[in-house]
Chain A
C-alpha cells in the first residue's frame, strides 16, 4: 500500500497516525464524561459523528452480554431500566451503608460487598457489578472513542477526580482505568484541570477560585498561581451534592403534585428515572426561559406541571446555599477573604443555572469566568496535563490532601497523622506502642476525615502489625509511616524502632478491590476481549485505509497528468467506495475496498516511479550517476 508514497530521504512522510507518546485526558463525570487530547498545547474534546463531546455516564447491560455506553444506553432507560447503571461515580469507593445514607432512588438494588471488602455492588442486568467495573466500561468506551478519532491505540491517560475524593474513591478510579486497559499517568483534581484549561498558569499571578458544580459532586478549591506553579491552597466540597439534586427537587415537586391530584406516582426504579429525566429537561429549559413544564406519564396517567424560574430557585436555594457555605469554609481554611480572590472559574453543567451564577458573583464581587464550555473544561485541562507528562512542560501542579488521614487509637479517637491541605507527596510518621506485656501483634485502623471519632470518619483500611518482639507494655516503639503520592493515594509502612525490624503490613482496603477480585475482573473482561479486539482491528483498518487515500490525493495533485480520463474515473470511483466503507463499521469491507483501490492504482504508481527516476537522473553526468548508483 505504500507504493504510491514517494518521498526523498529526510523528507517527512505523509501524515502518519500520531506519535508514540500520545496520551488522553479523561473527565470521568457523574452524569457525563468527556475525553480530550492535546497536541502542541492545544486541547480538543473528541466528538462523536454528531459532534457531541459529552458521553452520558450511563451503561446498559444487555441480556446477550452486550454492553452499551452513553446515549445508546440512555435511550434504553425507559424500556429496560433494570439493565441501566447511572450516576455510578457517587458510589466509587463507597460501602453499602454509605449508599443507604445517600437515600438514593437512583441506585438499583444494592448489595453489600462479598468477602473481605465492603465495596458496594449493584445488581444490574442479572449480575452483581461493582462501581469499578461499571466505570471501567465507561472508560473503555471513552478510550475507544479516542482510538477511533486519533487512529491509534491509546494506553495512557490522565483521569480527573473531584478534589474532595477520598483515598478509597481515588483508588477505585485508578482501578477502573486499569481494568479498561489504561495506565493512569496522574490523577488530577478537577479544579486544577479547569484552571489549566483556562491557561491560568500563564495568567496574572494570584489566588483563583474554582467553583465546580457538576451532576453529582460539588468542589470548591483555591489555587495560588505563581511562576507557572499551581499550588492548591485549600479545597473542600460535598461528594453528594450536585445538579442531580436539582433534578430530584423538581421531580419530587412534580410527584407531590401528582399525589395531591390522586394520580399514581413513580412505582419503580425505572419510573423514578423517567421522572428525573423529565425534571432535568425542565431544569435545562429554565436556564433561558422564565417558565417550563415537567411532563410525566406514570402508571399510564399523563400529567403536566408548570414551574417558574422563581419556583425553581426557591426549591434549589438551600442547595446553592450549601455550596456557598462550603466556599466560606474553604476560604476560612486558607485564611482568605473573598475579596482576595483574583478570579473565579465556573466548572460543571450545573453552573449554567442562573441562580448559581448570581450567588457566585455576589460572594466574590466579580463576574466568574465561563467562556470555555463548563462541561468540557475539565477534560481539556486533563488533556493538557497528559501532554505535559508525556512531552514535557513548564507547568507544575502541586496538590494537597483533601482530607486528614489518621489512625484509630484507644477509645475510638482519631490520631491525625497527615492533616488536611498538606502538600503532596507527603510522608509523615507517628509512633505507637503496645499496651500489653509481650504483645506480638497490633491492629491498626486507618481513617480519613476531619471528625474526632473514628466512627464518624471514612474507614480506609485495617491492618495488623505482626512479629512485634516480646517487650513490656509501652516499651515497643512502632513507627507507622503514611505516604501519600502525587496522585493522592495512600501507602502505609511500619517499623519497630528498638529492634529495627520492618513490619510487613497487610492492608485490607475497606471499600477497595482486593487483588483477587481485580484478577477476576480482568478475567471477566476477557469476555469482552473479542469485542475489544474487533474494535481495535476496525480502527487499524480505518487508519490504513485513510493513509492510502491521503497518499492517492497527494499523488494526484502532483501527477494527475499521467492518467487518462477513464483511468482517473475508475480510481475516483474506487476511492469513493473506500471512503464509504471507512464510514461504516465493517472491517472486511474496508479491507476489500482498500485492496481494490491499491490494485487499481498500481499502474499509476509505476508510471510515477518512472517519472521520478527520470527526473532524478536528468541533468546528471555519468560520474554523478555512477556515484548515485554506487
Chain B
C-alpha cells in the first residue's frame, strides 16, 4: 500500500506539461487544455478502471483496454506535435503493460501478490516445494514418453483442469490474504503454464510431422 500513497503524492503535484494547470494522476488528458498527459503512477487496476481483485471480468477488461487505446494510441496523434506523439506513446505502452499483466492469470496473480506483500521468488529460481518438484518430474517423464498427439493431449487436459482448480482457489486465497497459500498456488501455476507450453509445442511437432 506504500505504492498507492506514493501515487497519490505524485498526483497532487502533477501539472500539465503544456499549460501548467494541475492535473489529476488518473486522467490521461489535461482538464484545462485537453492535451494528452504522461501515464503517471496509477496501478494497473485503476488504469483500466477495474476493482482490485484477482477475479477480473475479461470481456470488461478488453472493452476498457480497446476504449482507452482508441484515445491514447500514437496513431491517434499522427497529425499532432512530436511531443504529443511521444507522450501518447508512453501512455499506450503503459496501457499495454497493464493490459498484458491483468489479462494473464499468472501475471495478474504475481502482480497482486507483490502488491499484497507476498514474497515471491523471481523467474528461474529453484522450486523449494518438494511435493511440486516430485510432481514436476513425474509429469515431465510422462510427456517424454508420450509418442502421439492424443497422448500429449491427455496430459494437457489433466494439467488444464488442475490449473482451473488452482485459479478458482486463488480468488479465495487472495480474499483471505493467505500469503503462504498464494505463494504456493502461484509457484504451481507458473509450473503448470510452463508445462502446458512445452506439451503444446510437442503436440504440434507430433501433429505436423505426422501429416
Contact = CB atoms under 8 A, between A and B. Distances in A.
A328 B208 contact: yes
B201 A186 contact: no
Contacts of A186: 75, 78
Contacts of B89: 425, 483, 485-486
B208 A423 contact: no
Contacts of A110: none
A393 B27 CA distance: 24
Contacts of A388: 75
B105 interface: no
A325 interface: yes
Contact of B93 (A227, A328, A389, A427): A427
Given A186-B75, A427-B90, A483-B93, A229 B100 contact: no
B155 to A, nearest CB: 15
Contacts of B73: 396, 398, 486
Interface residues of B, number: 27
A396 B71 CA distance: 10
Given A425-B92, A427-B90, A397 B200 contact: no
B79 interface: yes
A335 interface: yes
Contacts of B62: 226
Interface residues of A, number: 29
Contact of A390 (B78, B94, B200, B211): B78
Nearest to B63: A227
Interface string A520-544: 0000000000000000000000000
Interface in A365-420: 388-390, 396-398
B4 interface: no
Contacts of A321: 211
A328 B66 contact: no
A422 interface: yes
Nearest to A398: B69
A466 to B, nearest CB: 25
A398 B92 CA distance: 10
A324 interface: yes
A156 B75 CA distance: 15
B207 interface: yes
Contacts of A396: 66, 69-70, 73, 75-76
Contacts of A422: 96, 100
A141 to B, nearest CB: 26
B156 to A, nearest CB: 10
A426 interface: yes
Contacts of B63: 227
A428 B100 CA distance: 12
A229 B69 contact: yes
A427 B201 contact: no
A185 interface: yes
A332 interface: yes
B93 A425 contact: yes
Main secondary structure of the interface of A (DSSP, over half): mixed
A424 interface: yes
Interface string A475-488: 00000000101100
A332 B94 contact: no
Question: Which of A325, A425, A427, A485 neighbours the largest number of chain B CB atoms within 10 Å of its CB?
Answer: A425
Nearest to B103: A423
B66 A229 contact: yes
Contacts, number: 68
Contacts of B76: 396
Interface in A107-149: none
Given A229-B69, A324-B208, A424-B96, A332 B75 contact: no
Given A229-B69, A332-B201, A424-B96, A485 B78 contact: no
Main secondary structure of the interface of B (DSSP, over half): helix
Contacts of B69: 229, 396, 398
Contacts of A185: 78
Given A226-B62, A229-B69, A422-B100, A485 B207 contact: no
A329 interface: yes
Contacts of B211: 321, 324
Nearest to B200: A332
Contact of B92 (A328, A332, A486): A486
Interface in A223-250: 226-227, 229
A426 B75 contact: no
Given A226-B66, A227-B66, A325-B208, A427 B97 contact: yes
Question: Which of B69, B93, B97 neighbours the largest number of chain A CB atoms within 10 Å of its CB?
Answer: B93
B99 interface: yes
Nearest to A21: B79
Contacts of A328: 204, 207-208
Contacts of B70: 229, 396
Contacts of B75: 186, 388-389, 396-397, 486
Nearest to B39: A427
A329 B62 CA distance: 25
B190 to A, nearest CB: 15
Interface in B55-94: 62-63, 66, 69-70, 73-76, 78-79, 89-90, 92-94
A96 B209 CA distance: 33
Given A328-B208, A332-B200, A483-B93, A423 B78 contact: no
B204 A332 contact: yes
B58 to A, nearest CB: 12
Contacts of A427: 90, 93-94, 97
B93 to A, nearest CB: 4
B92 to A, nearest CB: 5
Contacts of A426: 93, 96-97
B166 to A, nearest CB: 17
Given A325-B208, A390-B79, A423 B74 contact: no
Contacts of B79: 389-390
A300 B74 CA distance: 59
B200 A335 contact: yes
A211 to B, nearest CB: 16
A428 B78 contact: no
Interface in B138-185: none
Contacts of B201: 332
Given A485-B74, A486-B74, A423 B99 contact: yes
Question: Which of A229, A389, A486 neighbours the largest number of chain B CB atoms within 10 Å of its CB?
Answer: A486
A329 B200 contact: no
Given A325-B208, A390-B78, 13 more contacts: A186-B75, A186-B78, A328-B207, A332-B200, A332-B204, A389-B75, A397-B75, A424-B96, A425-B74, A425-B89, A425-B93, A427-B97, A483-B89
27 contacts: A185-B78, A186-B75, A226-B66, A227-B63, A229-B70, A324-B211, A328-B204, A328-B207, A331-B204, A332-B203, A388-B75, A389-B75, A389-B79, A396-B69, A396-B73, A396-B76, A422-B100, A423-B96, A424-B93, A425-B92, A425-B96, A427-B93, A427-B94, A427-B97, A483-B93, A486-B89, A486-B92
Query: Which 4 A-B residue pairs are closest in the complex by CB-CB distance?
Result: A427-B93, A389-B78, A423-B96, A425-B93
